[in-house]
Structure 1
Amino acid sequence: MAIDLLYNVLIFLAAAVLIVPLVKRLGLGEVLGYLIAGVLIGPSVLGLVPDAEAVLQFSQVGLVFLLFVIGLELKPARLKLMHKAVFGFGCLQVAVTTLVLTLGALALGLAPSAALVVGFSLGLCSTPLVLQLLGERGELSSRHGRYAFALLLFQDLAAIPVLAALPLLTADSPMAGGWFTLLGEVLVAVGAFAGLIIGGRYLLRPLFRFAAATRSREVFAGTALLVVIGAALLMALAGLSMALGAFIAGVLLADSEYRHSIEADIEPFRGLLLGLFFMAVGMTAQIGLLAERPGLILALTALLLAAKWLSVVAAARAYGTGWRAGLNLGALLSQGGEFGFVLLTAAGAAALLDPALVGLLVLVVSLSMAATPVLFLAHARLVRPLFKARRPRRDFDRPPQTAPQIIIAGFGRFGQIMGRALQGLKIPYTVLDINADHVEFVRRYGNEVYFGDASRLDLLEAAGADQARVLVVAVGDIEASMRIVQRVRRRFPHLRLYARARDRYHAQLLMRAGVHDIIRELMPASLELTREVLVGLGIPRDRAQHTIDTFRPHDERALLRQLEAFGNEKQQIQTIQEAARELEDLYEADEEIVTSVSEPRGEPPRGGA
């Protein structure tokens, strides 16, 4: 048994390592690579892993982890703002697409109830496929990315009652008993939904606080896995979507102080299991059926893609989006989805659809999923250029190979001060800044600044990172700053990193990432102003400076102690309180400070330096 399991793992890893990079190098994306790998190792071609259905069932966990990570990035306040898009655009698109596909199924000779099931099932899109495509291109936060996510979330919600109501459509189903059964299932679902939200709101933070107190990374990671799988299982037992349960758990933790640590622990599992899901979809494709009836299957796949493209674009335009966003959504959401597999299979089990028709439609859905990465790539290259923005997106600059000693990432107020000092010393440096308008403005004053994302390794190489000695991370955004630091430490370990920190939390993240040359952006100015306030109160300047000089190393030591308690809110609060008491004792023990504060003061001097 163990040998068989290891053999299957070896096959999956080998297929992914050999095929996915090749397909990605061709510019077709990771998703299509996983689908092709699954087809090759599945029962329809090489038969290396025969039980494709079991793999598909297990790989659904990848979708669970994906939705949990997305939930972590969606704070409840932001989710509340999305409710119009979720229920407005989502409901409109599902209604339009279901109507178009149901009419098409009726035209092909299906009975009304069967046509309705087929229309709704084929109208659902693939959540992991769409989100993976958006993530690869960095478009999750774009206009069409937000609408796509809202639609996918609504579809997950809409599929649940439809799945529960399928038995009511059968000819031999007693309507009264059916409705009572449906009502019972709805009550159980609502109870599970409310229980997850209420329980998660009051139990999740204490649970992670307890895990963080152990100071064991394994325990903390295990707690994260426990929450994800537990929330998914609770929803599954109530007849709801496992992915929906994980998503809700993620949203409940989006505002917590443990968000980044949880995401870092979950991310490896998410990537591996999501790749396994796409491979399982490829494995379940009945390629033999395609060889038997290629004309019919390819025609149905083309009709599905065209009908959904037209429906999505029409719904998007009716909702008020522009043509650009509507066409992007059409190219992105024209495939069938994994919920379609579930609904079609359930309809076959309920005798609503012929098993042969179910197998045919499942293959059509699989082919539409495989075609989507190619079609979306073609859309991005051929259609998008026709809809140029008023201000075309500018390509990143390619800095000259001047081998500077210093590279500065970010040239706002913080970076400019450093740049002026270096320029006065005639020390060569290169600047990368991602704000195109800011780059143009700064260049007017003679500064050599290049438009580029400093987290892009190719741009750093072009800027001379291989030969440079120092990288200054002067970026104000915390997530962008951490992304640069993490990638640079892996690719250019020889670079000495100096970083700007927005606050103590950012400083702790940087120190955890291995950066020790850190300046908190408000710290020097705050201490200088404090010194001037003390002078303004009548304290001699040398004694005011001594007070500041005493505070600075104490605060650095306190920051290091708080770093040891990172992620443990209770211990962090205790450490901060202890540091405050220690500072009071330190000042009281210093005769020079005590004397300067206790001496009677005359009229404060005016116009102090």
Structure 2
Amino acid sequence: MSLLIQLTIILAFALVLVPMTKSLGLPSLLGYVITGIMLGPFALNLIDLSVELKQLQHLGLLFLLFLVGMQLHPARLISIRKQTLQLPIAAWLILSSLGTVLGVFALGLTVLQSLVISGGLSLLSFSLLQQQLNTILNSRITQKLTQFGLVQSLIAAIFMAMLPLFNMASPQHGLAYVMSLVAAISGLYLLQRYVLQPVFDLLEKTHTHELILASAVFSASLSFIALEALGIHATLAAMLAGFLISDSRFEQRLKLYIRPLQGLVFAAFFIVLGLSLPLQRIVEQPLFLGLGLITLLLVKMLLYVALNRYFKASWPDSTLSAAALLSSGEFGFILLYMAFEKQIANAALLEPYLILLMLSFLLSPFLFIAVQRYLLPRLQQADTGSQHLVNAPLLIIGFGRFGQLVARVAHLQHTPFTAIDSHLKADLALEAYGGSLHVLDATDATQLETMTLAQVKVTVIAVDDVEDNINIVRYLQLNYPEIELFVRARDRHHAHLLKDLGIAHIWRETYLSALELAEQSLASLNKQDEPLMTSIEEFRIHDQTLQRQQQHIEYDDTKLYQTQEAALDELAYLFQQDAEFKAKRLAKLKRDLSPSTSQQMKLDDL
């Protein structure tokens, strides 16, 4: 049968099966795999796995990894926060370690075989994750899961790069391989940045836009050929080529050009993968594959939920995130293929694990839909059932140095306040100072929904992260338009974003702006401008005196004042000193605040 007839039959089945899977709310990738299985030797047997189809699958895999590499833009990786970086690394290390131990002691595998197989099964399917994210409406969770996928893609690239080291004849060969890899990537990066980029700029100036795509393809092909010539595996070379091209200023335009091809690439790879699956293993080893699939999915689910809870995510968010990350996918397939190619294990040994990987790929979307439709609403209802009543008129979201200063001034003005922060201990005693603390993640809308804010008149938003700050502002504007918002801005750009949202009260981050914010927010509550201005001036004198006293405290080499525990101890000390100062104020100690004295205090503050 000619290749043209084979492709026609494949397209005919895909045009029926893929829309059916989409109508069920399932990712289209499942439709492609099912198409391959239906046409394969274990179903209708209409298509033979020819050499041409294998080549098409290989090209599809390389292009898929090229697209994944383009996602790993250096700036995008640098922007990932430490907590978001820790979760995927910890998850992969724990899963691969458990799998390695199980493989060695229970399945009789060698350490290297067990490490490669468990490492591949522990990696998620980034392409499947991207399609599942389209069904999640929470942009914060979507961003978090996308970053999770990027980090695991980076782990996969590092693992693929290090795998040949286990099969080297000598340590000298391994060192030579590592040095050639570093030299090739460095050289190609410099070539891309300082040679090819000026060529792209010249093409842009000459308005030959049709050649920009050709130049980008040339750059990617050059990177791929150079890496493969140095003995670097083709799959890793494709991924690194995408990573290098992502640093180009024409990255977004290139993505726009190749976006129509992306679906066809996914289709080619997953359809041929479905055709080539050794499904006879399901009949030969049903008990092993059944127990293995249940164990893999259950361990992944429990571990991801536990890690998300450890990093202070809510139960609904933890469960939804875990369900989205269950599938193994293309990275596991590549590692199993590399294990066969490097003669780490034979085909008979690897085939059951390939079937296990694909069963995980096929079943995980059904579990994700079940969690999203049936389990998640119950968790959200239970989570919102425990309401937190806020009786104070002043709410402070973000209880760092900025929010703490507002709280101290509120305490001196006999104004009750409520603080929200997810990084403090619940036993922090604020009641003696007219306040209360709720340990919640204000960036999580489901946790904010547990707050009853009917008594709140003014909210001070002092969250440091710009994106989290903006999300909180949007939530409060949408759900509590009657609350007056006083927002701390990190920089000029943040202030511009807040202005665009219609926020009238914005203070950029300095000590003086924190004092002014405290003054204005409390003035809005108390409507007593003159006495409050006097109180603020007295507070500044008191705080400067206190700061001069603290300069004489000797700290040890560990610099305890930089730790969170020491900062909270210092806050308790400051509240105590403020209380003593408050008592002295009640005695109406008078001080002459001359203009020259006030000007000198401002200079001291700066």
TM-score band (shorter)?
0.5 to 0.7
Cα deviation code 1:205-260 (max 9, x no counterpart): 3232233345445323323333344444444445262353244235313xx3x444
Cα deviation code 1:257-302 (max 9, x no counterpart): x444322211112221122222233222222222333333233222
Decide whether aligned partners of structure 1 residues 312 and 392 sit closer, same or farther in structure 2, where only a CA change above 3 A counts.
closer
The yes-or-no answer on 1:19 pairing with 2:17 is yes
Cα deviation code 1:446-477 (max 9, x no counterpart): xxxxxxxxxxxxxxxxxxxxxxxxxxxxxx99
* Range moving further from structure 2, 6-15 or 19-28: 6-15
* Equivalence for 2:156: 156
CA contact (8 A) 1:66 1:128 kept: no
* Equivalence for 2:49: 50
* Equivalence for 2:174: 182
Overall identity of the aligned pairs, in %: 23
TM-score, structure 1 normalization:
0.57
CA contact (8 A) 1:31 1:133 kept: no
* Equivalence for 1:193: 185
Decide whether aligned partners of structure 1 residues 436 and 342 sit closer, same or farther in structure 2, where only a CA change above 3 A counts.
closer
Q: Secondary structure at the match of 2:170?
A: helix
Partner Cα separation in structure 1 for residue 137 and residue 61 of structure 2 = 24
CA contact (8 A) 2:27 2:131 kept: no
Partner Cα separation in structure 2 for residue 32 and residue 91 of structure 1 = 27
CA contact (8 A) 2:125 2:329 kept: yes
1:88 to 86, 102, 121: 86
Partner Cα separation in structure 2 for residue 278 and residue 86 of structure 1 = 30
Partner Cα separation in structure 2 for residue 83 and residue 300 of structure 1 = 34
4+ residue runs of structure 1 moved beyond 6 angstroms?
439-444
2:38 to 40, 43, 46: 40
Q: Secondary structure at the match of 2:108?
A: coil
CA contact (8 A) 2:84 2:144 kept: no
* Equivalence for 1:528: none
Residue correspondence of structure 1 range 467-486 to structure 2 within 5 A:
none
Decide whether aligned partners of structure 1 residues 66 and 85 sit closer, same or farther in structure 2, where only a CA change above 3 A counts.
farther
Backbone CA RMSD of aligned residues: 3.5
CA contact (8 A) 1:312 1:330 kept: yes
* Equivalence for 2:547: none
CA contact (8 A) 1:98 1:120 kept: yes
Name the amino acid aligned to 1:23.
T
Cα deviation code 1:337-377 (max 9, x no counterpart): 32323333343455543532211111111111111221222
Partner Cα separation in structure 2 for residue 304 and residue 129 of structure 1 = 17
Partner Cα separation in structure 1 for residue 183 and residue 110 of structure 2 = 33
2:297 to 295, 301, 305: 305
Q: Secondary structure at the match of 2:354?
A: helix
CA contact (8 A) 1:337 1:369 kept: yes
CA contact (8 A) 1:297 1:360 kept: yes
The yes-or-no answer on 1:364 pairing with 2:364 is no
Unaligned runs of 5+ in 2: 385-444, 448-473, 484-495, 498-606
* Equivalence for 2:583: none
Deviation at 1:8, TM superposition (A): 3.7
Residue correspondence of structure 1 range 443-454 to structure 2 within 5 A:
none
* Equivalence for 1:522: none
* Equivalence for 2:119: 120
CA contact (8 A) 1:41 1:48 kept: yes
2:203 to 211, 226, 231: 211
1:283 to 266, 275, 289: 275
Cα deviation code 1:519-576 (max 9, x no counterpart): xxxxxxxxxxxxxxxxxxxxxxxxxxxxxxxxxxxxxxxxxxxxxxxxxxxxxxxxxx
Decide whether aligned partners of structure 1 residues 85 and 166 sit closer, same or farther in structure 2, where only a CA change above 3 A counts.
farther
Count how many residue pairs are aligned between Structure 1 and Structure 2.
Answer: 391
Decide whether aligned partners of structure 1 residues 117 and 184 sit closer, same or farther in structure 2, where only a CA change above 3 A counts.
same
Partner Cα separation in structure 2 for residue 334 and residue 441 of structure 1 = 37
CA contact (8 A) 1:68 1:247 kept: yes
* Equivalence for 1:542: none
Name the amino acid aligned to 1:181.
H
Q: Secondary structure at the match of 1:109?
A: coil
Decide whether aligned partners of structure 1 residues 351 and 60 sit closer, same or farther in structure 2, where only a CA change above 3 A counts.
closer
Partner Cα separation in structure 2 for residue 87 and residue 30 of structure 1 = 29
Name the amino acid aligned to 1:96.
I
Q: Secondary structure at the match of 1:28?
A: coil
Name the amino acid aligned to 1:100.
L
Partner Cα separation in structure 2 for residue 199 and residue 261 of structure 1 = 20
* Equivalence for 1:99: 97
* Equivalence for 1:248: 243
1:296 to 264, 268, 288: 288
Partner Cα separation in structure 2 for residue 90 and residue 56 of structure 1 = 29
Decide whether aligned partners of structure 1 residues 275 and 86 sit closer, same or farther in structure 2, where only a CA change above 3 A counts.
farther
Cα deviation code 1:413-465 (max 9, x no counterpart): xxxxxxxxxxxxxxxxxxxxxx7866678999xxxxxxxxxxxxxxxxxxxxx
* Equivalence for 1:274: 266
The yes-or-no answer on 1:202 pairing with 2:194 is yes
* Equivalence for 1:133: 132
Partner Cα separation in structure 2 for residue 280 and residue 443 of structure 1 = 58
Deviation at 1:83, TM superposition (A): 6.7
Q: Secondary structure at the match of 1:252?
A: coil
Decide whether aligned partners of structure 1 residues 56 and 190 sit closer, same or farther in structure 2, where only a CA change above 3 A counts.
same
CA contact (8 A) 1:167 1:350 kept: yes
Q: Secondary structure at the match of 2:124?
A: coil
Partner Cα separation in structure 1 for residue 369 and residue 267 of structure 2 = 19
CA contact (8 A) 2:92 2:122 kept: yes
Partner Cα separation in structure 2 for residue 5 and residue 443 of structure 1 = 67
Cα deviation code 1:86-124 (max 9, x no counterpart): 753333222101112123223433144233333223222
* Equivalence for 2:7: 9
Deviation at 1:49, TM superposition (A): 4.2
Q: Secondary structure at the match of 2:370?
A: helix
The yes-or-no answer on 1:30 pairing with 2:28 is yes
Name the amino acid aligned to 2:365.
P
* Equivalence for 1:167: 167
Deviation at 1:322, TM superposition (A): 4.5
CA contact (8 A) 1:65 1:270 kept: no
Name the amino acid aligned to 1:30.
S
Partner Cα separation in structure 2 for residue 139 and residue 33 of structure 1 = 26
* Equivalence for 2:64: 63
Residue correspondence of structure 1 range 171-570 to structure 2 within 5 A:
177-238=169-230, 239=232, 241-253=236-248, 256=249, 258-318=250-310, 321-388=313-380, 391=445
Decide whether aligned partners of structure 1 residues 18 and 234 sit closer, same or farther in structure 2, where only a CA change above 3 A counts.
farther
Cα deviation code 1:310-342 (max 9, x no counterpart): 333344444555444433332222232323233
